[in-house]
Amino acid sequence: MATNSSSTSDNPPTTKHDTPNPLQLVISNITNLIPIKLTSHNYLLWRSLFEPILHAHNLMNHLDVSFEPPLHAHPTYQSCFEKDQMLLAWINATLSKSTLLYVVRVQTAREAWDILNRQYASVTPSHFSQIPFKLCNDHGNKR
């Protein structure tokens, strides 16, 4: 039986790209995990689907106002930058065409998150806060 004498091990050398990055796997599935596109009418639902994913991947800190990304020369800069850009891509992938217009020139996930929060969070709660009042009034009118 012939063997390859140049081989020093039964296991081939591994490279950085042999093991898939779990964060990269989710990016291809983000629209499966968040099956709706953000519009002006579904911000709370969209956010309630998005936040558990962020918590699961320990990315909520990227959206926190107190988060300071490392300086460019810091050893963790590249990893932090890649996570931020992945998160920005996730956000963009779950926006409707009309909502994308608000974040066209945005460079970080936190910028996009803040813009969307300012744009939609103030509109949505007032709508939902009127629901219990309307239900009480509707119920009272039926008696």
- Helix, strand, coil percent content, the chain, rounded in steps of 5: 60, 0, 40
Where in the sequence is the domain holding 122, given as residue range(s)? 22-141
Which residues face 95 on adjacent strands? Answer: 38
**pLDDT 10s digits, 64-117:** 988 899 999 999 999 999 999 999 999 999 999 999 999 999 999 999 999 999
Kindly state whether residue 67 falls inside one of the protein's structural domains.
yes
Please indicate, yes or no, if residue 110 is contained in any of the structural domains: yes
Q: Predicted confidence band at 11 (pLDDT cuts at 50, 70, 90)?
A: low
| Any domain includes 83 | yes
pTM above 0.75, yes or no: no
Torsion of CA 26, 27, 33, 38, to 10 degrees: 160
pLDDT tens column, 14-54:
444 455 555 554 456 898 899 999 999 999 999 999 999 99
- Domain presence at residue 61: yes
Distance in angstroms (rounded) separating the CA atoms of residues 127 and 80: 37
Q: Would residue 117 count as lying in a domain?
A: yes
User: Could you tell me if residue 137 is inside a domain?
Assistant: yes
Q: What is the number of domains present in the chain?
A: 1
Q: Give the HSE-up count for residue 31: Cα atoms under 13 Å, Cβ half-sphere.
A: 8
Domain membership of residue 79 (yes or no) is yes
Task: Report DSSP state, residue 30.
Answer: H
| Within-domain flag for 2 | no
- The strand pairing partners of 38, in sequence order, are 95
Q: Which of 48, 47, 60, 75 minimizes the C-alpha distance to 109?
A: 60
